[in-house]
Amino acid sequence: MKIQLIPEKCIACGLCQTYSDIFDYDDDGIVIFSEKSDLEGQFPDDPAILLAAKSCPTKAILAD
């Protein structure tokens, strides 16, 4: 699945990493990928990643 991060929308709540460790945070607590430096990536289908995207309060994580 393709996952896209929209850091401008992230409010640094820290929720997404509780679902999946593909998510990490920069020094300001804004979402980044833990093993990628860009804002978009392909990941194996994983319900935990989808749940993180659905649970993000500001829709800063897009999954399709």
Asked if residue 22 binds ligand SF4 (CB under 6 A), the reply is: no
**List 3, 22, 31, 49, residue binding ligand SF4 (CB under 6 A):** 31
**List 14, 26, 34, 39, residue binding ligand SF4 (CB under 6 A):** 14
Asked if residue 3 binds ligand SF4 (CB under 6 A), the reply is: no
Show the 3-state SS of the chain: CEEEECHHHCCCCCCHHHHCCCEEECCCCCEEECCCCCCEEECCCCHHHHHHHHHCCCCCEEEC
* Residue numbers at the binding site for ligand SF4 (CB under 6 A): 10-16, 31, 56-58, 60-61
